[in-house]
Amino acid sequence: MLKKVIFFIFVLILATESMAKPKGAERMRFLVDETNRDHEPYADLALYMVERYISSKTSTLIIMENCEHCFPGLQNMHTRLLRYFLKRFNPTMSLQLFFGLPEDRLWDYNIFIVDSMHAFKNLSINIPETSYEHQFHFFIILTLRTKSSEIAAHHMRAIFRECLRFNVDNVVVMLELDKRKFGFYTYYLFAEVHCHQGENIEIVHFNTYFNGSLEHDRLFPQHLRDFHGCPLLICLDLGYPLLGFHGNRSDPQDLQNIRLVAGIEGDLLRDLAKALNFRVNFSISKGRGVIGENNNSTGCFAELAAGKADMAIGCLSSTDGLRHVFSYSISYHQSLYVFIVRSGLHFGPIKQLAQAFCPSVWQAIGICCIIGMIFIRFVISCTSSGVCEKLVGQRKHSDSTNLIVVMMGNPIKILPRRNCARLLLMSWLLATLVLRNAYQAKMFDSLRISRRIPIPRTIAGLEEHNYIFVTDKYAEFYPRNMTRIISNVTQRYSMVQQSDTERLVTSSMLDTLAWHNRQNWNTSYLTYVDEPIYNVQISMYFKKHSILRSIFDDRIKRLGAAGITSHIGEKHVKKQFQVMNANSQRLPAISSNMLRGLYMLYAMLMTIAFTQFALELLTKRAPSVRRAMDWIHYVSRK
């Protein structure tokens, strides 16, 4: 009795809605007999669609059925439809019936058999948030019976909104228009009438099945290819060579002109706007975009979280731990994140003088001098006067400092009288003459070629050589006690560029270094450390679960397959500018700055000479000073 009352009320409502419509409104005709409703046309067409368009793309098919508050005739029709479908189903795919249990999950392709929007909403579809980015395909068989096209559109609109809530845009609704005539419908968010304002969606009748054939050979419509000139709110995070803006940031007209953006992502955005037919409304981030997990994002990410932007572009990347906060496109460009150092770092003024000889030569010279001075001191102190005169000369005129005096090119006052001592002195004079000439020649070449300090090739080498890391925040990959905080990136580059002797290092993308060196090709000395820190994947970012992601992904894949993204990257990044002046370069002239070490050494020797002269004058008045000077010169007093 209760079912008859409900049925009578439902018929009255339908009749009232039908009478309220204008006479010219479009109508849909449906079967009248609910009890004897034929299920075979639905099942045959569903089987045809599955075998032709789904079986080749997946190995598993999910089927869900629900009839919400329907009469026994319609429920019986659903049961017969399912049985008929299962009986004739091609066994090449595995089939799973969906019962709405908590452990049930959707698959790539899913079939829904429902009689109304309420039945679809009550299917207990469970899509974890981690799978919202997955590309699901919904094939919905709607067994709704109504004479009003408006009511049918109302049900389909509610179904599409439910699909939009799960971020599913590959949705097709199959609806019977007449006896053995079916229409296929989908929805678009952007149309000529509206541009995704609120919950407005456009229902599109894109295919028809009649007399055993389809009007168009496809089940699912192509991805949205036309935004119909609708504007998108895009936040720009500027940074060359990826993205630049050549307009007035405070002028609203410039912020709507897509021709004013430049760089890799600027060119890519223009190609996407031309292909998808959308306009832009830019906002430029004042701060650096950093993803925050607890609604504390900054820059363009903050605008995405607040709903002020539909997408963000420009030098944007994130770590794996924070990628779940926003939706992001596939990567269309990548660059290594490396340490930036100055390649032309000079040696110190004294060390510059030592570059003429290699360390082993200096070591051999030092050993010879020490051995000679020890030998002379030993002969003078421990041998008789005859032996001393035979080996090194007269005791009172021989001094170990004569080795240094002769090596510097100065003469000695009294020559030894014995042949053995003269032969040793001659050998030392000849050796020091060769050394002095060789040093002068090598020193000239060293100053002309301007040899530089070798650059560490690893991160551990930077720490070992005490390089100071100049950055905007402390990093996990470098010690905090060797880090200096400088917020401005231009200032960091300038500090490293101008550090002739101080060992400074900063970090940047390799493409940014190449662009900087290209702009300053005649003055830049910046290069990079071979060991990278990590690889940066550049992507566009969207609001979480934004349906725009799949649309842009499809177009970016096509541009990448055509080689356009690679061409854009090569256009703006010249790899020959990644290393500047890394090798030794020939200078046109020897500058006074290069001779600082020579001047310092000369000043030191003159200081020693004046000190010794003052001490010699002081010996006349201070006996202790005289005794000290006599001991230095090995003069014995009686």
Q: Is the pLDDT of residue 582 over 50?
A: no
Is the pLDDT higher at 355 or at 254? Answer: 254
pLDDT band at 590 (very low <50, low <70, confident <90, very high): low
pLDDT of residue 449: 57
Token look-up 């050979």 returns 217
| 299 and 540 Cβ atoms separated by less than 8 Å | no
Of the CA atoms within 13 Å of residue 399, those in its CB half-sphere come to 18
CA distance 564 to 146: 50
pLDDT of residue 35: 52
Residue of 402, 419, 420, 424 whose CA lies nearest to 411: 402
Q: Is the pLDDT of residue 335 over 80?
A: yes
Least confident range from 25-39, 80-94, 527-541, 550-564: namely 25-39
Mean pLDDT taken over the chain: 79
| 152 and 185 Cβ atoms separated by less than 8 Å | no
Residue of 571, 587, 451 whose CA lies nearest to 518: 571
Q: Is the pLDDT of residue 441 over 80?
A: no
CA distance 151 to 366: 102
Q: Is the pLDDT of residue 248 over 80?
A: yes
| 225 and 244 Cβ atoms separated by less than 8 Å | no
Least confident range from 72-86, 92-106, 491-505: namely 92-106
Say whether the peptide bond before residue 454 is cis (omega within 30 degrees of 0).
Answer: no
For range 552-572, the mean pLDDT: 89
pLDDT band at 347 (very low <50, low <70, confident <90, very high): low
pLDDT of residue 260: 92
pLDDT of residue 257: 92
Least confident range from 326-330, 413-417, 622-626: namely 413-417
- Reported as a single tens digit per residue, the pLDDT across 128-153 is 665 556 778 899 999 887 778 889 99
pTM, two decimals, is 0.63
Positive or negative CA dihedral for 395, 398, 401, 403?
negative
Element housing 370 (H / E): helix 359-382
Structure tokens at 453: 């300090």
Is the pLDDT higher at 229 or at 414? Answer: 229
